Amino acid sequence: MIGKIPKALMDCFGTLEKIYDVVRIVDPINNKVIYHKKDSVDVTLDEDSCYGFWQKDKFCNNCISLRAFLKQETFVKFEVVSNHIYMITASPVQCPSGSCVVEMLNDITDKSVL
């Protein structure tokens, strides 16, 4: 699937991977991970579904990737999984398939002030 991702987008991944713990491209219509790069986040990633990362067996009720795709805007949310707090940013991008969203995730458990 990587061959179907625009080169300009793949070129950005190097920078994004230095900022975020996980960067992945998802197809929010089919709930599939198209491409991912995992760094230091200690959560099992189901490469077949985008919701596997969140330890769920179905798509998220509050899926910001689907919302980002439908509205063509960037959305941010916070999720708690296994005592870890994640900040998720979802931004729509143009892919040949037409339904791609870049998800950028940070484990902010020890990095946030509330």
Tokens found for residue 38: 């995992």
Q: For 2-107, give the CATH class.
A: alpha beta
Neighbour count for residue 69 (Cβ, 10 Å): 23
> For 55-78, how does the pLDDT look when each residue is reduced to its tens digit (9 = 90+)?
888 888 899 999 999 999 999 999
Poorest-pLDDT segment among 5-14, 29-38, 55-64, 91-100: 5-14
What span, in angstroms and rounded, lies between the C-alpha atoms of 111 and 93? 28
| Per-residue model confidence (pLDDT) at position 88 | 96
> For 15-47, how does the pLDDT look when each residue is reduced to its tens digit (9 = 90+)?
888 899 888 888 898 888 877 755 444 333 445
DSSP 8-state assignment for residue 60: -
Domain boundaries along the sequence of the chain = 2-107
55: left (phi over 0), alpha (psi -120 to 50) or beta: left
| Per-residue model confidence (pLDDT) at position 54 | 82
